[in-house]
A and B are shown apart, each in its own frame.
Chain A
Amino acid sequence: MQRLIEGSEAIADAAVAAGCRFFAGYPMTPFTELLEHLARKLPEVGGTCINAESELEAVGMAWGAVATGARSATGSTGQGLALMQESFSEMTLAGLPLVIFNMSRGQADYFQSTRGGGHGDYRHIVLAPMDVPEATELTQLAFHLADRWRNPVLVYGDYLLAHTYESVEIEPIDYGTLPAKDWAVDGSAGGSGKSRLVSSLGMSKDPKRSVDPESLWKDVAKRHREIEATEVRVECGFTEDAELVVVAFGTAAKFVRYVVRQMREQGVPVGYVRPISLWPFPYSALAEAAERATRVAVFEINAGQMIDDVRLSVLGRAPVVAIGGISTDASGFGVGRLLDTEIIRERIESALKGQEVPV
């Protein structure tokens, strides 16, 4: 059944449809509504939602829940997620399939999402939906990929995604079978000699490798290389003959796509690349698009973060220019004037002419 609902509610419904049964979070704009919806919806399906006393405690609770094998998630805004980073990096090492939601302020958390603010060698799969219907799919995919890879997956949204009402129908999506969670700690194996240990320290109950961080870190790095080879998601439009390729992600990409399609209808040789997975980043797709382009423009609502990955993809094949920038409402939480199709069109036209765009 199609329903006109707020993005936060749609994401909450999608999480429940994916089998999420535990959520802990701490209120923070513009993430708060996701917590509110889950606080109402999870108990209805026998799940638990805790309004944690702090972000540190929220991620700790999610750690305990996900370690028992339950599909579990936490979330916040970038500022709150900054407090959780130590746990995120260690949960990655511990192989825990946590799902993380970032309803960010603007798009300023690209670095945090893709590089992480924590310690050590770790990566998260990062999915960036452009609108509410896609968010309901990617939310369910996030839980699937987390279980498939035993790795945290972050869903990167923003103020607009969290608060826009769109008509959606949310049904459970079958992404295929997954291996049994034989690693999960459910308390039943005590005294068997085969009790389990969820450890981020490289410890195990196998006396031959009771402490072996090097092997653990190598295993994690190997897992991340496999994810890089398998889980790239990207949408490309008109790149086969585009003189200018515009790169954008998340809600900004939906605006860019609209403008590029409009310009194409009018015969302007522009195209777009929309990374859906921010990690692994679609380096190859972008490199291929840049091969034929004379210029690559990046539109992101921040001072220039994804542009680093774009430059790494293009590797000098074409000039890379920034056409986005910092843009916010007076509160600092919401959407600024830059997210506007007319302004985006002006900036794309400037880039086509080789003009500098003030960022």
Chain B
Amino acid sequence: MSTDTFLPTDVPPTRPSHKVEQLKPDLLLHTNHHLCPGCGEPLVLRELLEVVTELGAAERTIGVAGIGCYTAFSSAIDLDLIQALHGRAPSVATGAKRMLPDRLVFTLQGDGDMVNEGLQEVIHTAARGESITCVLLNNGVFGETGGHMTSTTVIGQRTKNTLEGRDGSYHGYPILIGDLLAQLEGTVYAARGSVHNAAAVASTKRMLRKAFESQLRGQGFSLVEVLTMCPTGWFIPTADGPGYLDDVLGTVHITGELKADGKLVTTAELRARSQERARRQSAPGQEAERV
């Protein structure tokens, strides 16, 4: 039989087997959505909802959606939800959590929402040590308006209003929001994940779980920033999204844990570590000397 023979994939297998990945998370009412092809945001949503289910927290969770493309999912997520205004989700989550302290309360925000419009809200919420989890979907553009510069857009990145690429001397420099929040005393957990490949998605899921667990222990504020593809806003083919994320956003907003178990790690340190790893991989024989 040739490898060019395609197998039927319209119905589940009849042979004995077990399911390892569901079509959709239990907490998603349906899979219809209007987000663009190649968008990274649904990948985060899948993992987030799975973590809520795995923690057995579906019946005590309140989500607060900011304003961005992901807002469209609020009619499909089977959790109690509040839609906030652009930027205001951390404050709305604060009010809900103060009234119902035993609930798992999270926000879903984009970089435009959290790092532009609502920067002071998320900083103050973290500083207050509110036991909520803010989930940032960071693609470095205003996706919903069609690809405009945000506060996390990296130097050189083309957007609709930085057509020649973001120029630091003219447009200013990107904010590393994870670092900013990690250093606050009220923040107990901060991590930056990505969804540009399956391993990164799995790692992001672990970050979401750790953040939610820290919240359920009442320890304080947690942030999970996730780099997501936006091929529409980046003006590239969908298939190039993961590579662009890794090469452009991913070299500035380096992934890894920024604060966990009381230990603070800066993005600069994460960058040095990743460069070290890359050096070892390219010259494995010299590994012993460098360590």
Given contact pairs A50-B98, A61-B94, A191 touches B104 in the complex (Cβ within 8 A):
no
Given contact pairs A64-B94, A66-B95, A210 touches B75 in the complex (Cβ within 8 A):
yes
Contact between B95 and A191, CB atoms less than 8 A apart: no
Q: In the docked arrangement, what's the CA distance between A21 and B100, Å?
A: 12
Contact between A191 and B78, CB atoms less than 8 A apart: yes
Shortest CB distance B84–A (Å)? 7
Given contact pairs A54-B120, A191-B53, A63 touches B88 in the complex (Cβ within 8 A):
yes
Candidates B58, B85, B98, B104; contact of A60 at CB < 8 Å: B85
Q: Among the listed stretches B25-33, B191-199, B202-210, B238-246, which one makes contact with chain A, having 4 or more residues with CB under 8 Å of it? A: B25-33
For A66, the chain B residues whose CB sits under 8 A away are 95
Q: Which residues, 114 to 153 on B, are CB-close (under 8 Å) to A?
A: 120-121, 124
Contact between B96 and A86, CB atoms less than 8 A apart: no
Q: With CB as the reference atom, state the residue of chain B lying closest to A48.
A: B98
Number of A residues, CB within 8 Å of B? 49
Shortest CB distance A123–B (Å)? 19
Whether a CB of chain B sits under 8 angstroms from the CB of A87 is yes
Contact between B91 and A196, CB atoms less than 8 A apart: no
Whether a CB of chain A sits under 8 angstroms from the CB of B45 is no
For B78, the chain A residues whose CB sits under 8 A away are 190-193, 195, 205
Given contact pairs A90-B85, A187-B59, A198-B81, A64 touches B29 in the complex (Cβ within 8 A):
no
Q: With CB as the reference atom, state the residue of chain A lying closest to B53.
A: A191
Contact between A61 and B27, CB atoms less than 8 A apart: no
Candidates A22, A53, A67, A191; contact of B98 at CB < 8 Å: A22
For A211, the chain B residues whose CB sits under 8 A away are 72, 75
Q: Which residues, 67 to 81 on B, are CB-close (under 8 Å) to A?
A: 71-72, 74-81
Contact between A57 and B121, CB atoms less than 8 A apart: yes
Given contact pairs A86-B85, A87-B85, A62 touches B95 in the complex (Cβ within 8 A):
yes
Whether a CB of chain A sits under 8 angstroms from the CB of B273 is no
Whether a CB of chain B sits under 8 angstroms from the CB of A24 is yes
| B149-184 to A contact mask, C-beta < 8 Å, 1/0 | 000000000000000000000000000000000000
Shortest CB distance A15–B (Å)? 16
For B98, the chain A residues whose CB sits under 8 A away are 22, 48, 50, 61, 64-65
Task: State the A residues within 8 Å of B (CB).
Answer: 21-22, 24, 48, 50, 52-54, 56-68, 70, 72, 86-87, 90, 94, 185-193, 195-201, 203-205, 207, 210-211
Q: A22-B98, A54-B124, A64-B99 are in contact. List 18 more A-B contacts (CB 8 A).
A: A57-B88, A60-B92, A61-B94, A64-B97, A65-B95, A65-B98, A68-B95, A187-B61, A187-B104, A189-B80, A190-B58, A191-B27, A191-B53, A191-B78, A195-B80, A197-B75, A200-B85, A203-B83
